[in-house]
Structure 1
Amino acid sequence: MLRFVRYIDTFLAIFFLLLQLPCLFPARKIPDPSTELTVVDIHDDNWRGFINFLDLGKGSEVAGMSELKKYFNRFGYLSERKLNFTDLFDEELESAVLRFQKNLGLTATGKLDSDTVKEIMLPRCGNSDDRAAPRTLNGTKNFAYFYGKPRWRGSPSARLLTYAFSPDNMIDYIPMPEIKSVFRKAFSRWSAAIPVNFTEADDYPSADIKIGFYNGNHGDGEPFDGVLGILAHAFSPENGRFHLDAAETWAVDFDQQKAKAAVDLESVATHEIGHILGLAHSSVKEAIMYPSLSPRTKKVGLRVDDVEGIQALYGSNPNFKYSSLLSSDISSAWRNAIPQKSLKWTTILVVLLFIIS
């Protein structure tokens, strides 16, 4: 009985202590769109203007809406046949917005809410979001492929792809050894998951994968657009072309490169190699194959969705283990579910309850 009373006293003490602390799950504050979307103040002029369409829906008519339709056409949400270059938010645009929201894991409202506009304005891969494979019914596998599900041919036990850097189309402010090191790490992340090896070749014309930095219209029908906007693009197997926008401020170390618009080279390289191997864009925000990347963000680790998608094409590397990926996915989900300020108090509560149990 005395032990029970002591437990009750301890519990009440903890309870009243917690009443003095900030709520573990505070009410969500409605953000001020004018401050929430300030990341785009370093964005290119065309996409920056999309902030003017915040909270608009079908039936709205605003100058410049035709540019948003071109954006959705560019990334596979509006076909040329249905594209109506007016400034009216029509039924076709609403359908495009809904598909965009579903493809990128956003709340499907059909309206240009703040989350949707923010995502539209983020720098991203130039490849279309149009994808051959639908999401699975259980909602956990969101990877996709190019139409026809192309992949590199050859024996799985002896598949070796060569890559080379363009002798004429490179950047000069990052030393070549550092660029090569970044790409070695990016290729190794994929080869750790699948039975495919990559090796650098000296002969650029004969390499399987050809890497270069290009400006504007560079002859492949997919022009770059200057700082931010489209960061890079790569073609499906077995094309092998891998192009990065030379206008970007590329970085291998954010401690050295202080520019607000700096883009992490390894993150983009890892993403584009996924395309080179045959993956299309994923709707899992944490996945490497998610299409957008904020400036000054490093995102290089494959997630479960990436690995399941690529292994469905090529099989598994015999030495690959899922354990580290699963733990990183779980920890990410935990961090996203609980605000960081509340996390320490949640931990304290768990420890105290463990002590008195």
Structure 2
Amino acid sequence: MQATLRLPWKWLLCFLAAPWPSQPEKLFHSRDHSDLEESVLRQAKPVTDLHSAQLFLSKYGWTEGSRKLLAAGLSGNPGLREAIAKFQSFNRLPVTGQLDKATLAAMNQPRCGMPDHQLPGATVPRIMPRGGSLDPSPREHPKWFSALLGRQRPKRSPPRAFSRRLLRWRLVGEGYSSQLSIEEQRFVFRLAFRMWSEVTPLVFKEDQLSPPALVDIKLGFGTGQHLGCSRPFDGSGQELAHARHFGDIHFDDDEHFTSPSSDSGISLLKVAVHEIGHVLGLPHLDQTGSIMQPGYTHPETEFELGWEDRRAIQALYGSCEGPFDTAFDWIRKEKTHYGELVVSFSTYFFRSGWYWLYENRHNRTRYGDPILTPVGWHGIPSHDLDAYIHVWMWGRDERYFFQGNHYWRYDSDNDQAYEEDEQGIRYPRLISEGFPGVPSPLDTAFYDRRTGFIYFFQKSSVYAFDVSRNQVADSYPKRMTDVFPAVMAQDHPVRDLDSAYFSYAHNAIFLLKGNSYWRVVNARDRQHDPSLAFNGLLPRQSISQKWFDICDVHPSTLTMN
């Protein structure tokens, strides 16, 4: 008889707590292992008649799920007619309440497997129209969101809303697709998570090493009975994917998923972005162009999240805020085919070694930003810029970046910083040499074309530098509160600005600090109200209400552009 090996209980606890080797985790499978068997490509059964339409409407939340009235037919079932009418309205079809060809076509469209009306009585996060302002009143949340806060216990598992900003995700080892390489799959998912990160304070990190319990969102492919899921896939042609409310996303591998560069098949990127929206807490939306529409349409070009999607997700997680290292408008002078000189501008925001181009026409950042500073700006410091100024006057057109005790002149024609300019001046150069009387390091600066002065800010002081005389103007430095007086008492940044710049889009000067900005009174303001002080600061406003979606992303996705 073998002796029993007895281990101290403390040793056993240490053994259990020790990190295990990093291997693809085993997911729970069907007891008979049927979801591990290789399957032949199956086709989904189409919706062709009243019976299959009833099953469809029940599956996607349009009816209560009872099949008792099927025998009565459509004429004897007002509830079914009403469900068809609501489905038609949701899909922008003629509302007839009849199962016509257009309705059947919509029901057979490839789509998400999540219900369109998941929780009766739930409300959709309020959506802002383009150019609108957010309502300052407290946000209204759907009932499932209140349940997450502990005010009531839901009858069903609600869509998951996360309280942390850093979320970890993983493509599970037993859920690889048979159609794309593993690297292609991971690339698509990194890009899909990045698209949500570009418009929210959320940051997504791929995590292949942590224990499964520490991974927030798990993704995988399967067919039929799959990955231990209680909801089997139907085969090629209808349900593309579904999201489980505790962080799992499953894709039907019977579908022909393709990479973003393909013009055929089902775009895995678009489907993944949609399903991630569900895991983050978004329901289906019926707005045209929304990624959260339940039906799939192939993207004609590179798609991006629509205004409705951005406002809906920000109603749950908030908007992206400051601070910024610097912000400015970059002026470009170009000649038309007729030789006419045309001036255009682009707005840029810099923070922590990244930069964003802001599309003023669309009131949002450029798709795919942020980008690492050295990628787009050659020869200037890669991090922690203090200021940018553009001296633009008769006979002079010079651009400078500032950091610490030095400054760099930028050659816009060759898109790089000068090592030596046409006057033989070498860069970087000490600020005290090029701008005598100006201290360093600076907080920020901007050039005011109205006066021909560069305003340098350091702590609570302002130095007005007269460009034509190459010296600090008489009676300067002054306190910031004297040069830029508050229009409303006690509403002033006082000191330590992050950035200041003249915006050609708004024809105004802005001072930025933290999550707030102050606009400087301009000539138009004084025409309407002559009592306003010259260079007065109007009351503070939130940066997120003026400039949308200037959001950080995880560093692992910065090289995807």
TM-score by length of 1: 0.64
Paired residues, number: 261
1:244 aligns with 2:234: no
Structure 1 position 246, deviation (Å): 1.2
Question: How many Å separate the matches in 1 of 2:194 and 2:83?
Answer: 36
Cα distance, 1:154–1:136 mapped onto 2, change above 3 Å: closer
Question: How many Å separate the matches in 2 of 1:138 and 1:317?
Answer: 16
3-state SS of the aligned residue for 1:183?
Answer: helix
Cα distance, 1:104–1:145 mapped onto 2, change above 3 Å: farther
Q: 2:110 maps to what in 1?
A: 123
Unaligned runs of 5+ in 2: 1-41, 133-139, 146-158, 323-355, 366-561
Cα distance, 1:269–1:299 mapped onto 2, change above 3 Å: farther
Cα distance, 1:83–1:245 mapped onto 2, change above 3 Å: farther
Structure 1 position 128, deviation (Å): 0.1
Question: How many Å separate the matches in 2 of 1:200 and 1:138?
Answer: 31
3-state SS of the aligned residue for 1:148?
Answer: helix
Unaligned runs of 5+ in 1: 1-42, 51-63, 329-357
3-state SS of the aligned residue for 1:86?
Answer: helix
Q: Cα deviations across residues 173-214 of structure 1 (Å, max 9, x unaligned)?
A: 312221111111111111111110000001462311010001
| Aligned residue among 267, 289, 311 for 1:286 | 289
Q: 2:199 maps to what in 1?
A: 193
| Aligned residue among 261, 267, 283 for 1:264 | 267
Task: For 1:80, give the aligned amino acid.
Answer: G
Q: 1:154 maps to what in 2?
A: 163
| Aligned residue among 172, 178, 183 for 1:172 | 178
| Aligned residue among 100, 108, 114 for 2:95 | 108
Structure 1 position 275, deviation (Å): 0.3
CA contact (8 A) 2:221 2:251 kept: yes
CA contact (8 A) 2:93 2:103 kept: yes
CA contact (8 A) 1:123 1:295 kept: no
Q: 1:226 maps to what in 2?
A: 235
Question: How many Å separate the matches in 1 of 2:302 and 2:237?
Answer: 17
Structure 1 position 299, deviation (Å): 7.0
Q: Cα deviations across residues 305-348 of structure 1 (Å, max 9, x unaligned)?
A: 111110000001227968575699xxxxxxxxxxxxxxxxxxxx
Q: 2:190 maps to what in 1?
A: 184
CA contact (8 A) 1:164 1:204 kept: no
CA contact (8 A) 2:61 2:116 kept: yes
Q: 1:78 maps to what in 2?
A: 63
Structure 1 position 272, deviation (Å): 0.5
Q: 2:416 maps to what in 1?
A: none
Of the structure 1 ranges 224-233 and 202-211, higher mean CA displacement relative to structure 2 is found in: 202-211
Q: 1:69 maps to what in 2?
A: 54
Cα distance, 1:243–1:172 mapped onto 2, change above 3 Å: same
TM-score by length of 2: 0.42
Cα distance, 1:127–1:326 mapped onto 2, change above 3 Å: farther
CA contact (8 A) 1:69 1:83 kept: no
Question: How many Å separate the matches in 2 of 1:188 and 1:248?
Answer: 24
Cα distance, 1:169–1:138 mapped onto 2, change above 3 Å: closer
3-state SS of the aligned residue for 1:186?
Answer: helix
CA contact (8 A) 2:60 2:117 kept: yes
1:97 aligns with 2:87: no
Question: How many Å separate the matches in 1 of 2:198 and 2:235?
Answer: 34
Q: Cα deviations across residues 140-186 of structure 1 (Å, max 9, x unaligned)?
A: 99xx987513553435xxx1000001111211331222111111111
Task: For 1:75, give the aligned amino acid.
Answer: Y
- Higher strand residue share: 2
Question: How many Å separate the matches in 2 of 1:113 and 1:326?
Answer: 41
Of the structure 1 ranges 270-279 and 313-322, higher mean CA displacement relative to structure 2 is found in: 313-322
1:211 aligns with 2:219: yes
Question: How many Å separate the matches in 2 of 1:171 and 1:179?
Answer: 8
Question: How many Å separate the matches in 2 of 1:223 and 1:240?
Answer: 17
Q: Cα deviations across residues 82-127 of structure 1 (Å, max 9, x unaligned)?
A: 6534372231221111121233333332223444332211000000
Question: How many Å separate the matches in 1 of 2:287 and 2:92?
Answer: 7
Query: Which structure has more RCO (C-alpha within 8 Å, separation ≥ 6)?
Result: 1
Structure 1 position 136, deviation (Å): 6.7
Q: 1:276 maps to what in 2?
A: 279
Task: For 1:46, give the aligned amino acid.
Answer: K
CA contact (8 A) 1:215 1:224 kept: yes
Task: For 1:309, give the aligned amino acid.
Answer: A
Cα distance, 1:216–1:137 mapped onto 2, change above 3 Å: closer
Cα distance, 1:308–1:72 mapped onto 2, change above 3 Å: same
Cα distance, 1:194–1:69 mapped onto 2, change above 3 Å: same
3-state SS of the aligned residue for 2:193?
Answer: helix
Q: 2:244 maps to what in 1?
A: 235
Q: 2:312 maps to what in 1?
A: 309
CA contact (8 A) 2:242 2:250 kept: yes
CA contact (8 A) 1:235 1:241 kept: yes
Task: For 1:133, give the aligned amino acid.
Answer: T
Higher Rg of the two aligned structures: 2
CA contact (8 A) 2:240 2:255 kept: yes
Task: For 2:195, give the aligned amino acid.
Answer: R
Question: How many Å separate the matches in 2 of 1:243 and 1:297?
Answer: 25
Provide the aligned C-alpha RMSD in A.
Answer: 3.3
